[in-house]
Amino acid sequence: MKAGLRLIGIGPGDLGLMTVDAIAAAKESDHRFLEGYTATLPPEQEDLLESRIGPWTRLMRPDIEMPDELLRLARSSVVALLVVGDPMQATTHVDLLLRAKDAGLDTEMIPGVSATTLAITLSGLQSYRFGRQVTLPFPYGDYLPVSPLKYILDNKSRNLHTLVLLDLDPTGLGVESPVHMSPAEAGGVFLKMAKKYGMEDDSKIGTFEDMPDWPVIVLSDLGTKESRVCSIYLRGISNVKGGRIHCLIIPSSMDDLEQSSFDGMYVGD
């Protein structure tokens, strides 16, 4: 590539999971930018990044969603956008790639190991039994969408498990350092959603009577040496302490093997 845009997945946490192709492509690029708002590296891994690939600059949401400067650079040089995990897991990066193609630029996409893949693998649940994944957002003032809860209920109605990604940005702007939602905060958001959903639709009030008894798998710091997986019920999720970045799985009904795996990771209420 003489000039153009590369989207490079660098894996979910430990740079040891960055592929040989990803390292080589990043090193060979003229400009290297690390996208810093859809996912983040642990600080100690971020400190190692320059020694692996060369100098880099962090970009936040406005520079990715309004990529005029990125595309300008890519007209005359090779620009690498480094993305924690896999680039194509976020619609933001799909949109950027399409914009570059529409601008007549050469593009290249190098996939990376994704935390979503690791989550399903480590959960002990069957991969073919997962429905639509959702992101659980922080409430922004009076704004709290209930659509994530609706999707979880829809998955449950079809006996499908749900992978729940937790928000990293309480402001919703994507310009400040990410603040990772904790499992305890996620439990509080679920309850607020249920209350709001019930207020919007009286017929749904009884739907959430068993919500405290929902089984939950908590996965923390995937792709790092501190990776941890445990199971709990929603009523006890605030007892899950520690960890930096988390995601959840809300299982539907589990078969015998899945239930055994859940029980084996159970940490109690």
CATH number belonging to domain 4-113: 3.40.1010.10
The Cα–Cα gap between 92 and 88 comes to 9
Q: Which residues in the chain show pLDDT less than 50?
A: none
Summarised one tens digit per residue, pLDDT across range 240-267 is 999 999 999 999 999 999 999 999 999 9
Is the full-model pTM beyond 0.75?
Answer: yes
116-264 has the same fold as 4-113: no
Q: What's the confidence (pLDDT) of residue 114?
A: 94
Q: What's the confidence (pLDDT) of residue 176?
A: 78
Q: What's the confidence (pLDDT) of residue 169?
A: 82
Q: Are 163 and 120 in contact (CB under 8 A)?
A: yes
Tell which CATH architecture fits domain 116-264. 2-Layer Sandwich (3.30)
Answer positive or negative: Cα dihedral of 15, 20, 26, 27. positive
Domain boundaries, the chain: 4-113, 116-264
